[in-house]
Amino acid sequence: MTSPDLTARILDEVDGLADRMVNTLAEAIAVPSINPRYPGQEYSKVVGAEGEMSALLADLYAEAGADLTMVTVERGRDNVVGVLPGAGGGRSLLLNGHVDVVPPGRLDRWHSGPFRAVVTDDRVTGRGATDMKGGLVAAAYAAVALRRAGLRLAGDLVLQAVVGEEVGDHEAGTTAVLEAGFGADAAIVCEPSGQRGTLPAVVPVTPGLLWFSITMEGKTAHSGLRGMTVHPTLEGDALGVNTVDKFWIVYQALRALEDEWAGHDRHPLFPPGYFNLLPGVLRANPSGILVPFFLADELTVEYCVYHHPGRTNEEVMAEIEARVADACRRDPWLRAHPPVFEWKLLWPPYVLPDDAPIAATVAHAHATAAGQVPLTTGFMGVCDLTWMDRKDIGGLVYGPGVGYTAHAENEYVEIAQLVQSAKTYALTAVSWCGLETG
């Protein structure tokens, strides 16, 4: 705990850095650090910007007095770690964030270019403003504020800027950094923890994430024969099978499962109906032909699944496959030509134990800075807490951003959230790590 005078000094230092914080975030947005392994990207044209973003943060870490280390698994994709060594006798704290962003989407829908920040009195707009360059910048300036306040922590403060998170490439990012020896007693992942533009929330739980594809086989025929293939008294499957029609059977089965989840897979920190199965990509066509003059005999659909954190990935995968198999058994064609699953990404959920002290520490720091108790909620997506947990590091999500704009055009962060987050990080570090004595 800090004295009122010391708390006021820390908060004043952060307030004094607010303009710089905004300017640095604008510089960060100008770095087009799209994850080069994001589907649809040409790796050689994109790789390297993540490293530029890490270099920008390294300068701030150095200003805060941190010892710098670059951890690099792939050339051009540097992770940077800044360690502010403690005087001894205190707990260590990790502030983690990812430097990679998703592609900008439709350029014509941006009010300005996605990598040219638009700054107004209350917000900063640009790709990565919310997810999650705002959090990285706030964490760095929290450390700068502590130094400007003349404080040295008792325990280490570890700052991590990592690559790869947007595609689950933790082996090149967070896991690589942890395996290089840069862990801590507790962690804050500085992802956006608010959704509607409110102050950041405390987030101790994330859902599980699955990405899978289903491939279906049909039988092509002339488009003029469609009626004969679908009318129950005519030729049917013997003449042709349109995979788009057969997919409707699979879609309805998984849509029904989604409704069941909304009814019984409830969690107090997630809204009812949050856990879902999204058919986000659909490709169907006659083999090698992109005109509708044939029955489509090829189809691939890709699903993204968010599931209840109390369930394992394996349990949910088995349920999905069983539900599809059951629906297909009722259709003669699909019974003989079952859909083929490919599981592409398996991201386990994360749950912070109820008695973990880091949650109360962050909540108290937030309340001190904001004058109100923070919300506690579940995370909208997934994050690297999962991989920290595998290294026996517990933590939570807390950071600036408007979650509803993440991955969308005109993504933005509120400036008040940046400042609030930096204050919370700084006060948490003092409370958690302790201060040098003597």
Q: What sections of 122-162 are H helices per DSSP? A: 134-148
The tokens for 242 are 């349109």
Q: Cβ of 194: how many Cβ atoms within 10 Å?
A: 27
Element containing residue 85 per DSSP (H, E): none
Burial class (CB in 10 A: 0-12, 13-18, 19+), 338: middle
CB 296 within 8 A of CB 284: yes
| Coil/strand/helix, residue 318 | helix
Residue listed under structure tokens 């964490």 = 139
- How far apart CA 308 and CA 319 sit, in angstroms, is 13
The string of DSSP codes covering 214-226 is EEEE-B--BGGGH
| Coil/strand/helix, residue 133 | helix
- How far apart CA 399 and CA 187 sit, in angstroms, is 12
Catalytic residue, from 78, 166, 169, 384: name it. Answer: 166
| Coil/strand/helix, residue 129 | helix
Catalytic residue, from 13, 50, 74, 100: name it. Answer: 100
- How far apart CA 90 and CA 421 sit, in angstroms, is 22
The tokens for 416 are 């008040």
Active-site residue, 166 included: yes
Q: What sections of 240-305 are H helices per DSSP? A: 243-264
Active-site residue, 100 included: yes
Q: Cβ of 242: how many Cβ atoms within 10 Å?
A: 23
Element containing residue 301 per DSSP (H, E): strand 298-307
CB 260 within 8 A of CB 234: no
| Coil/strand/helix, residue 73 | coil
List the beta bridge partners of residue 282: 301
Q: What sign results for the dihedral spanned by CA atoms 353, 354, 356, 362?
A: positive
The tokens for 155 are 């325990």
Active site amino acids: 100, 166
